[in-house]
A and B are shown apart, each in its own frame.
Chain A
Amino acid sequence: MSGAVLVITEHLNKRFTDATFELLALARTLAGDAGVEAALVGSGVAGMAGELGAADRVVVIDAPHLEVFDPDGHAAAFAAVVAGREPRIVLVPYTSTGMDVGSHIAARAGLPLVSYCRSIDASDGLSATCQLYAGKIEADVSVDGDRAVFSVLSGAAPAADGRLEGSPEVVEAGVGAASRTRFTGLAEPEGGDVDITAQDVLVVVGRGIESEANIEDVVKLAELLGGAVAASRPIVDQGWLPKSRQVGKSGLTVKPKVYLALGVSGAPEHVEGMRDSSTIIAVNTDPQAPIFGVAHHGWVGDLFDLLPELTDRLEG
């Protein structure tokens, strides 16, 4: 058993994601003398190891069929690395690709998985603080044994601290089980009518907007402010607004001067895409809504009472 902290790295078009560097930064704070290892899976990727200078060792699995993320193939490859290295801690990003990998490698290695992690403590046994119920509950979790896989939310450590050039030791490893999924193509998002990343003002609707018809009043408000309407994921999944308007983990990251959130609860996946906005104003009927944890200004109340008042004042 290496006893190290193993980071599952993630890259697209030969560029590591910010999540990778956040995990490396977190790993450094947890590793102590045991060191940090990074698992790098892809095709022709050995040259990328130098970007992982925050790791002491990079375990590389290089195979043509793993050039682009392959759910079954990558999960098997990472599981093989975990089996070979026997790390004490495995850090997986809570991202789209991480979700295909985390539970799989934990199950394969017979290790527990702790999900939705915001912070990890490895000083005395293993424990973590996690966000449950879309950020409405914080839970302290202890690991029964002495090894675990942690699925870590965005923002657990600064990416800049993990973005170090260096020359970590490179170790080659075998591919793992054959893949039963096969990558066939990548598609960029279709451009929308409005680029929400270029707006000074975003009026953002969440589940609290209740129906598609109610969005019309919000559009009017956004127009009065010279901004645009954006939305959290449930609204886009309902088909009420196009994907190009979605803020958050699976949508876009925005940093407007004003972010007015109406009926947005503020799940971690949403906050990830908007927390760097200059002024965040949140309106929600639920005083517990996690959006108030990231907002600069908040009002607990009904957005449908507020909307006409705001519109009146801005028209006047």
Chain B
Amino acid sequence: MDIAVILRTVPDPVEELELNDDETDLDRDYLGFVLNEFDDHALEEALLLKEAGGGSVTAYAIGTTDEVEQILYTAVAKGADAAVKLGDDVGALDAHAQAEVLAAALGERSHELILCGVQASDEIDGQVAMLLSAKLDLPHVSVVVGVEPAGDGLSVTKEYWGGITATYDVSLPAVLGVQAAQQAPRYVAVSRIRQAQEAGALSEAPFVPPTGSSGITITAMRIPESGTGAEMISGDEEAAADRIVELLQAAGMGGGA
């Protein structure tokens, strides 16, 4: 199966975020960006499918930053056959613009399956995976936790809630929004990533600037006041442990004092 995987960078989820002067966007200058974790699962699922049934995996990412190149080289080091940078220094694109750029790039090629993370933490105007499926007029399933070949198509497992899952037969080509791969994303040694980098395992595809609009405008952003309503414990870990034990005992847990 000829599989495309969409990879995106998002602000590192463990970093503190700061706003720009207008307070309408993040201050991106000093922000660390990492691969969107759901896209990492999409890549893993693609590699598992290839290992089980042959075919190829091509990774796509929009942008020209070092982080974008790094996630593409990492994909190659993990086993992707090709990595394509949709390169232009466009800054942050919203989901509509990303879907438009990807549709232009992928529409030209004949991938049988397009895998993408089910969501990203910044997709305020919709999910890229679903917007892309609409643009390419392909069937879609989101919140995918398993993909198996079945006849001419796929058997796809989707998670509902409370651990309930549903299985669907999906005709190809199709777009899937992956929540979790069937195994945790593999690690790859830095030396392998460097090898991919030295081999220049990266190609560039024409970037078609998006012209559409999401139809919404972010007018203000703020960092929610943390701990509103929470009693914040001050002091070091010893003070914190003392207080938490008190709280546990007050709730009838952790033995008597």
Contacts and interface: CB of A to CB of B under 8 A. Distances in A.
A124 interface: no
Contacts of B122: 132-133
A57 B51 CA distance: 51
Contacts of A293: 224-230
Given A71-B140, A100-B142, A133 B127 contact: no
The 5 closest A-B pairs by CB, nearest first: A189-B163, A112-B215, A107-B134, A103-B130, A180-B139
B218 interface: yes
B135 A107 contact: yes
Given A96-B158, A133-B121, A309-B238, 7 more contacts: A137-B26, A180-B170, A201-B253, A258-B251, A290-B224, A297-B233, A314-B255
B242 interface: yes
A287 to B, nearest CB: 6
B37 interface: yes
Q: Is the interface of A mostly helix, strand, loop or mixed?
A: mixed
Contact of B14 (A182, A286, A297): A286
A246 B163 CA distance: 9
A163 interface: no
Given A71-B168, A301-B240, A132 B121 contact: yes
Contact of A103 (B134, B170, B226, B242): B134
Interface stretch (B55-63, B74-82, B173-181, B190-198): B173-181
Interface of A: 12, 17, 68-72, 75, 95-97, 99-100, 102-104, 106-108, 111-116, 127, 130, 132-145, 148, 151, 179-190, 200-201, 207-208, 224-227, 234, 236-239, 243-244, 246, 249-253, 257-258, 260, 265, 278-279, 281-283, 286-290, 292-302, 305-306, 309-310, 312-314
23 contacts: A12-B160, A17-B161, A71-B158, A72-B141, A100-B130, A111-B215, A115-B125, A133-B122, A134-B13, A137-B26, A143-B215, A151-B126, A181-B141, A183-B166, A243-B163, A258-B247, A292-B232, A298-B233, A299-B232, A299-B243, A306-B241, A312-B241, A314-B255
B17 A301 contact: no
A282 B230 contact: yes
Contacts of A225: 248, 253-254
B213 interface: yes
Contacts, number: 298
A292 B220 contact: no
Contacts of B131: 103, 107
Interface string B1-34: 0000000000101101101000000100000000
A239 B215 contact: no
Nearest to B143: A96
A201 to B, nearest CB: 5
B167 interface: yes
Residue in A145, A184, A225 with the greatest tally of chain B CB atoms within 10 Å: A184
B217 interface: yes
B245 A314 contact: yes
A305 B26 CA distance: 31
A12 B74 CA distance: 40
